Chain A
């Protein structure tokens, strides 16, 4: 048990190191950052001076360790475009994305899992077929397209909801949140729906597949033979049997939704880190790209680690080492 957690923590560390190297090589070594830093018409002296100032004349591994050392001190450099420390920039944008992502993933899970269980429980019913058809749509239709349709329908034609922005926010724990005000909520609704649609389809399908398999299993048959009611079978047996894949996907999808927010944030002008990364890619703002990638990697790895821990909590077969 302890060995398991230690092993996982160790792996997470190694993965972070590998990621930092990949990001460094990817962003810094491909292309010449100096062309971004200074115009082509500056004198050779200034050019050399700048190269030396940024340590670009050093061997690659030296540059990498300098980079790593700075990161460990929390110094991700300054944004070329915004001219402020990257870490501050990202941290100021992060709550917006977190809020959007959480709303989307939780909404998707709350609707998708019950719908999927129902569709798996009665796979031949009309409702199940309807749920599955909608989920195929949700699975197939690109997020950006749904975003466009939502804007046309609810913002332009019906004019029920705003088309973009975060709306009014209120501070909580020193951070501004939209969901605390009615106006903010109305701004949150459309992008959250947009982002949730794909996840909703995914969770529905997963819950359905798991339920279908569980319903055909001997475990369920035996429970029915013992006279358990269908509701008890679903709630106590099936739900436990499908919990592990659902928790895994919930965790992983939370992570991937953070990344998918790029599209939604662009369409709805939601001021989160997704919008930031797209802007920095188009303007070649390397320090922001690096910091974003490192941050997202860190979040992914932490979520993977937490999912692993959740496994141990959920699956008694993994708990054995600790209990014996």
Chain B
């Protein structure tokens, strides 16, 4: 139950302003005429909004006293790390909270009309018409069973009655508006026939359908590749300017917000800690939290330097064990790590009957995906090579081949002249000298194992330590990654994401590897945690003399951590070289596009 101050409804709330439906192109003119009349009331006024979740464990104050206002046509960025309440603020405005969440107090006024406590059907009449929303993951928002045209039609009919032919025309026009090519054919497509970026465009088209006065975008480009993100950012900016729509852009990424918003609010623990014009907040932050956030960004620091926000730890890792001590670089004539003409295809196997049908020419073979296509690379001892690519570029597959998790279909990977995988019928990994750190710290630890056991398991199985020494060894590694050794008996679910990633690093390094494959190790972490992990990796790499293969989609993280960089695109390496050279003077067209797409923070 909302406890909004219903009695305080302003007189303007009783008569909502009629929205003209300007035809495309003339939108700007009619908007500005209306704006002349209405400039005194803000479009949206949020005051002291509080949304709590009453869970069994207690009350979570997701949003706790948030106030801001938004003018017509204004673009506001709402920035914060996970759990800051930025998304819940968006859902509270549009009135789409899932139980047990509810608005405890405060008010949300759209053109003077109070929305908190409005009956469900009146709120529904506003949703999609006056305020609409775009969600984070375009793969999940569209219904896979309905055509794009049907879904646009349903959204259209929610607020208007239209004939069948008109509905189709409007759907085609909506798709054209968000720059989807061949909208006449695409309108009959199903979501699965679209890429992620295209699906997000469809979601935006649906959100813009009734020319709303406000659009709330909840991390709309987070799930997309950087080049698609750049396109959507540009288009969105143009669209809201053209339609005069106000926009709340919710994001964890300061750079994307900087490139689209006029104003920005920085949220933390359900409260706005700092607000103001984008340029001012990002170049002259007043609040220590905002300052810390900005200092955590690798793009603002000198490559290889410790990031200011991530406090370092002092404990040194345990010394190299005698058994592994001799593993230097014995084959000086070969590069340390050799990746030679490695290829990998993923293909579904045909059944016996399908094979027969293929023989008879009735059906074609199942499509194969060439994930990695004859890649040749080498890494020098002690070097950090960054492998950069967008999703589907094959970078993770290549990483898993180097780590000895997948066997390559062709080519081979050598470490110091020795193969990583046994060649043969059922290839299996034969060396412990390469270890891996994975992206998702929630998935990379066995949830049913104490973290101490997870760390000790490998060293015990390979006789690096005896059972008697294991506890001390684990404690040394926990200290080395900045965790309290007393936590060895805890289970993964008791740790935060950053802490789990530390455990995963300890597990990989406790095997005393020479080479570590890092597969997007900081991609799923908040900026401030990311800075801590980057600092940890920088320090351990130096202290242990590790050779790194660092896989990432984030160009700034790679530049910060790596000496050399290789750009991967559709299974091939399109460019490689010293990091500074590639970033400053890219030669390949794809690399150039990729670098140009990265949003940049304004510098003071």
Contacts and interface: CB of A to CB of B under 8 A. Distances in A.
A65 to B, nearest CB: 22
A317 B192 contact: yes
B357 A3 contact: yes
A217 B147 CA distance: 18
A225 B158 contact: no
Contacts of A218: 135, 137, 140-141
A6 B353 contact: yes
A68 interface: no
Q: Range of interface residues on chain B?
A: 35 or more
Interface of A: 2-3, 6-7, 10-11, 14, 124, 216-219, 221-229, 232, 236-237, 240-241, 243, 314-317, 320
A99 to B, nearest CB: 33
Contact of A219 (B127, B129, B142, B210): B142
B142 to A, nearest CB: 7
Contacts of B157: 232
Contacts of B99: 124
B363 A2 contact: yes
Nearest to B123: A227
A227 B124 contact: yes
Contacts of A6: 353, 357, 362-363
A217 B135 CA distance: 12
Contact of A226 (B155, B351, B357): B155
A316 B98 contact: no
A222 B124 CA distance: 12
Given A6-B363, A232-B158, 19 more contacts: A2-B362, A7-B353, A124-B99, A219-B140, A219-B143, A221-B96, A222-B142, A224-B124, A225-B94, A225-B128, A225-B207, A226-B158, A227-B127, A227-B155, A228-B154, A228-B158, A240-B145, A317-B144, A317-B190
Interface string B358-401: 00001110000000000000000000000000000000000000
A219 B151 CA distance: 11
Interface string B336-372: 0000000000000001011011000011100000000
A6 B351 CA distance: 12
Given A3-B362, A227-B124, A232 B154 contact: yes
Contact of B96 (A10, A225, A240, A320): A225
- Of A2, A229, A243, the most chain B CB neighbours within 10 A belong to A229
A224 B128 CA distance: 8
B363 A241 contact: no
A268 to B, nearest CB: 40
Interface string B181-210: 000000000101100000000010011011
Contacts of A227: 124-129, 132, 155, 158-159, 210
Contacts of B128: 225-228
A226 B135 contact: no
Nearest to A218: B140
Given A225-B127, A232-B158, A320 B351 contact: no
Contacts of A243: 145
B145 A316 contact: yes
A320 to B, nearest CB: 7
B363 A225 contact: no
A224 B121 CA distance: 11
- Of A11, A218, A222, A317, the most chain B CB neighbours within 10 A belong to A222
Contacts of B209: 226
B357 A316 contact: no
A257 B575 CA distance: 63
A293 B146 CA distance: 41
B166 to A, nearest CB: 18
B133 interface: yes
A218 B141 CA distance: 5
Interface in B96-150: 96, 98-99, 124-129, 132-133, 135, 137, 140-147, 150
B280 to A, nearest CB: 32
29 contacts: A2-B362, A3-B357, A3-B363, A10-B356, A218-B140, A218-B141, A219-B142, A221-B141, A222-B133, A225-B94, A225-B132, A225-B207, A226-B206, A226-B209, A227-B124, A227-B125, A227-B126, A227-B132, A227-B159, A228-B154, A229-B158, A236-B150, A237-B146, A240-B145, A315-B144, A316-B190, A316-B192, A317-B144, A317-B190
Contacts of B192: 316-317, 320
A237 B125 contact: no
Interface of B: 94, 96, 98-99, 124-129, 132-133, 135, 137, 140-147, 150, 154-155, 157-159, 190, 192-193, 203, 206-207, 209-210, 351, 353-354, 356-357, 362-364
Contacts of A224: 96, 124, 127
Contacts of A7: 351, 353-354, 357
B65 to A, nearest CB: 25
A240 B146 contact: yes
A7 B157 CA distance: 42
The 9 closest A-B pairs by CB, nearest first: A227-B128, A3-B363, A10-B353, A218-B140, A316-B190, A226-B128, A240-B145, A226-B155, A225-B133
Nearest to A8: B353
A315 B190 CA distance: 10
Contact of B203 (A2, A222, A228): A222
A10 B354 CA distance: 9
- Of B99, B128, B364, the most chain A CB neighbours within 10 A belong to B128
A7 B353 CA distance: 6
Contacts of A2: 362-363
A226 B132 contact: yes
A224 B141 CA distance: 11
A243 B94 CA distance: 30
B158 A236 contact: no
B354 A3 contact: yes
A223 B143 CA distance: 9
A241 B364 CA distance: 30
A11 B137 CA distance: 38
Nearest to A10: B353
A124 B100 CA distance: 12
A317 B190 CA distance: 8
A221 B364 CA distance: 40
A315 B155 contact: no
A189 B362 CA distance: 49
Nearest to B159: A227
B154 A223 contact: yes
A219 B155 CA distance: 12
Contacts of A217: 140
B362 A315 contact: no
A211 B550 CA distance: 43
B127 A216 contact: no
B226 to A, nearest CB: 23
B98 A216 contact: yes
Given A3-B362, A217-B140, A320-B192, A315 B145 contact: yes
B94 to A, nearest CB: 6
Contacts of B150: 236
Nearest to A319: B190
Nearest to B145: A240
A74 B155 CA distance: 57
Contacts of A10: 353, 356-357
Nearest to B94: A225
A6 B356 CA distance: 11
A243 B356 CA distance: 33
A317 B144 CA distance: 8
Nearest to B351: A7
B285 to A, nearest CB: 32
Contacts of A314: 145
A243 B128 CA distance: 27
A219 to B, nearest CB: 5
Nearest to B193: A320
Nearest to B144: A317
A2 B353 CA distance: 13
Contacts of A315: 144-145
Nearest to B367: A321
A316 B141 CA distance: 16
- Of A217, A221, A320, the most chain B CB neighbours within 10 A belong to A221
